[in-house]
Amino acid sequence: MRNSITRITWAVCRARFEQIRDDTPRQWGELDPARMIRHVRLSTELSLAEVEAKDESTWWTRTVFCWLVFNVLPWPKGKIKVSEVFLPKPDGNVAAERILFFEAMERFLAAVEKEPQRRTTHPMFGPRTMHNWRQIHGKHFDHHLRQFGV
């Protein structure tokens, strides 16, 4: 499972997030650093069901599309616009957002260890296990880290 988040891979991913500053330039897209970290924090909270998500998945997005996205296709750089619902305004600067995000990731890693088969809802991919969310987060985080050149 490429790019899957585990305790070991999180250490490397975390170090990459620590390199991002308020003035880190983006390589593509429109998110500033604080809003990007708020965005990935939201996705982490979504995976923990700390944020409510409506299941808008279809058979196609749950099966074929999900498999393609995480096993075959590269994520397009700045080509897909996400709903504003998934781009909340940051609660603070990069340092403040990073602390909140890291706390959410610790809760996520604890949930993976305790209940790897627990299911929570992804709006596009439907019910996902914590194990599935590890892969979703791994690819998603790497995409945004590359967006800021780290």
Distance CA 43, CA 38 (A): 9
- The CATH number of the domain where 19 resides is what? 1.20.120
Provide the total of helices (H) and of strands (E) in the chain, helices listed first. Answer: 6, 2
Which candidate, 125, 111, 95, places its Cα nearest to that of 44? Answer: 111
128, 27 in Cβ contact below 8 A? no
The C-alpha atoms of residue 119 and residue 133 are separated, in whole angstroms, by: 9
Helix (H) or strand (E) holding 111: helix 94-114
Residue 122 lies in a domain: yes
Q: What domain count does the chain have?
A: 1
Q: What is the pTM of this model?
A: 0.90
d(CA 59, CA 17): 34
Domain assignment present for 86: yes
* Residue pair 78/29 in contact by the 8 Å Cβ criterion: yes
Cα torsion through 69, 72, 78, 79, rounded to 10: -80
- Which stretches of the chain are assigned E, i.e. beta strand? 119-122, 126-129
pLDDT tens for each residue of 107-137 = 999 999 999 999 999 998 999 999 999 999 9
State phi, psi for 148 to the nearest 5 degrees.
-110, 20
The reply to whether 53 falls in a domain is yes
Over residues 64-79, mean pLDDT: 78
**Is residue 63 situated within a structural domain?**
yes
Assigned domain for 2 exists: no
pLDDT by residue (tens digit) across 74-102?
Answer: 776 766 667 677 888 998 999 999 999 99
1 in a domain, yes or no? no
Q: Which residue range forms the structural domain that includes residue 126?
A: 7-147
Does 109 reside within a domain?
Answer: yes
Q: List, for residues 19-42, the tens digit of each pLDDT value.
A: 999 999 999 998 999 999 999 999
Domain annotation covers residue 83: yes
